[in-house]
């Protein structure tokens, strides 16, 4: 099995939960950043010196909630995968999030092996999408230069 580190952004208004989860993920070798609100998450993503593969996003947060944050992430960073964190009270919202393009969801309290499996799957999908984009870009360049040489 591959053990490539995943670049993760954890977003939840419950600070203790975020910090505990960040520690556990770091112990597994992953690169973790944290944010405690939707606004902070967008600020973290705007930092161009950092890569993000997957955002783990709490649905229920004061201010900008998870669904609003999901939409903002998808508008600005469509390549980044999002896993929603939901409580029993927000499972309907999780369904809405999945319909609007979240990769998956997890019920809180998050089961750690399940979270790791979903993070791996989300990262894999992002890598495959990036690879398709690279190939399409290479093809586009080939076409353009091919056209030049034919003239």
State yes or no: residue 40 binds Mg ion (CB under 5 A).
Answer: no
Cα separation, 83 vs 77, in Å, equals: 14
Among 13, 53, 81, 104, binds Mg ion (CB under 5 A): 13
- Phi first, then psi: give them for residue 138, nearest 5 degrees: -65, -40
End-to-end CA distance of the chain: 49
CB 58 to Mg ion: min, Å: 4
**CB closer to Mg ion, 89 vs 146:** 89
State yes or no: residue 53 binds Mg ion (CB under 5 A).
Answer: no
State yes or no: residue 65 binds Mg ion (CB under 5 A).
Answer: no
Which residues, in sequence order, are bridge partners of residue 11? 35, 57
**CB closer to Mg ion, 13 vs 40:** 13
3-state secondary structure of 33: strand
């Amino acid at each position: 099995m591959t053990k490539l580190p995943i670049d993760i952004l954890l977003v939840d208004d419950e600070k203790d939960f975020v910090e505990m989860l960040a520690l556990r993920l770091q112990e597994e070798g992953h690169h973790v950043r944290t944010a405690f609100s939707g606004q902070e998450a967008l600020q973290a993503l705007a930092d161009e010196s950092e890569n993000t593969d997957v955002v783990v996003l709490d649905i229920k947060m004061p201010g900008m909630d998870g669904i609003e944050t999901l939409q903002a992430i998808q508008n600005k960073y469509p390549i980044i995968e999002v896993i929603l964190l939901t409580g029993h009270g927000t499972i309907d919202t999780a369904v809405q999030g999945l319909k609007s393009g979240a990769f998956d969801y997890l019920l809180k309290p998050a089961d750690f092996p399940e979270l790791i499996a979903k993070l791996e799957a989300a990262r894999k999908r992002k890598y495959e999408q990036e690879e398709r984009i690279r190939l399409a870009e290479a093809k586009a360049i080939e076409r353009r230069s091919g056209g030049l040489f034919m003239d």
